[in-house]
Homo-oligomer: A and B are copies of this chain.
């Protein structure tokens, strides 16, 4: 059996990926420090779905499938030596690296959150690469990046897969062609760390010939996969809060409980999307298509379609009758952008894209309805801001509390009591 080590295997993408690989004949081991569950305590909010403890999850999985998944509880960004010995002893064929703080709004909440995101994400990535080099184990590293590294419309509308062909003028005036890493244009501290990761991959790949695949993933929607659906004890987490909730899931959940759909800014932002079932399939495809020794970093865009945020809101509103409400955008970003993202590589590897369609939208809505008693509506509005002034302008109060207050004081009502 091929061995896969999954760093961050307790998270929203990590957990269903672990099950999908275990189901498909891989020997899987998970590393996680359970920080995402601990952050729920900080944010005073939890998964809408009743996720079970890791030991309950794993014992149920073994009961249902006969497959054993090992779990190692430590911090990849902190416990270097444990990571090194684990890689040296387990000798994984592939290591999937999800062990990063993954929410843009959370990374902007305060200086502490900026600093935590930078320190955690960059040290985790560097620790992993240093450990693979030091161990001498020839593991293929598959990393979850984001389409956000490209920015939105800074160089060209059609986003290639990782690399961009450019021309420069040589000394004699002739044009010379070069292939470069697509110029990075991060939109938050979180996105910044992913662009910095890319340089880390570039360097270790060049110097140490580490085989690396970087997956630039769009916004994930959906919550269940074939494997998590097998038993309620295996259910995946569902985040609906303003920091960790992803936009389409938030709309579906808001519609399910009768809350207005929360659109920040004009909703003219075009983003790339992918269903969680496709995410786990892509991770498996990436593992099975490693670059050859000496190849440069392999970059795949892990997306299936693009939409404007307000079009998604309209789609959900049309189905559900929900009201759409527009809020000041807490982010510093263009109000409107177009976006076309190439995804030829995964298509050529056989990915069957799951597009937005009634059945899967209904599944999310049904989950949201089933667990709506677990929803704390105070967590729905995003209170993280990209610029402290955004929280000050209206009320004179500093910090994000000001922004929250603005919404509550608005003439259209107090959302925190709507549900």
Report A's interface with B, CB cutoff 8 A.
80, 84, 111, 114-115, 118-119, 122-123, 126-127, 130-131, 133-134, 155-158, 164-171, 175-176, 178, 180-181, 183-184, 186, 188-189, 192, 195-196, 199-200, 202-203, 206-208, 332, 386-388
Contacts and interface: CB of A to CB of B under 8 A. Distances in A.
Given A111-B130, A166-B166, A196-B196, 8 more contacts: A115-B130, A122-B122, A155-B178, A156-B168, A166-B178, A167-B175, A181-B183, A195-B199
A178 B168 CA distance: 10
A200 B189 CA distance: 8
B184 A202 contact: yes
5 contacts: A111-B134, A118-B122, A122-B196, A188-B207, A196-B196
B165 A169 contact: yes
Given A122-B196, A166-B167, A130 B156 contact: no
A98 B183 CA distance: 26
A198 to B, nearest CB: 9
A122 B200 CA distance: 12
A192 B125 CA distance: 13
A209 to B, nearest CB: 9
A137 to B, nearest CB: 13
Contacts of A387: 207-208
A115 B192 contact: no
B202 A199 contact: no
B196 A200 contact: yes
Given A115-B123, A134-B111, A192 B183 contact: no
Contacts of A202: 184, 186
8 shortest A-B CB distances, which residue pairs? A166-B166, A196-B196, A111-B130, A167-B167, A180-B183, A118-B126, A192-B203, A111-B134
Contacts of A196: 122, 196, 199-200
- Please indicate which of the listed interface residues A111, A123, A332 has the most CB atoms of chain B within 10 Å of its own CB: A111
A168 to B, nearest CB: 6
A169 B126 CA distance: 35
A173 B217 CA distance: 28
A78 to B, nearest CB: 10
A389 B118 CA distance: 32
A252 to B, nearest CB: 30
A119 B77 CA distance: 10
A201 to B, nearest CB: 10
**Of residues A118, A119, A176, which shows the largest number of chain B Cβ atoms within 10 Å of its Cβ?**
A118
A296 to B, nearest CB: 12
A202 to B, nearest CB: 7
A200 B199 CA distance: 12
A84 B114 CA distance: 14
A200 B207 contact: no
Contacts of A199: 184, 186, 192, 195-196, 199
Interface centre among A119, A181, A207 (most CB of B within 10 A): A207
Contacts of A168: 155-156, 164-167
Contacts of A123: 115, 118-119
B203 A186 contact: yes
A133 B184 CA distance: 22
A171 B160 CA distance: 13
Nearest to A184: B199
A178 B156 CA distance: 10
Contact of A207 (B167, B178, B195, B386): B386
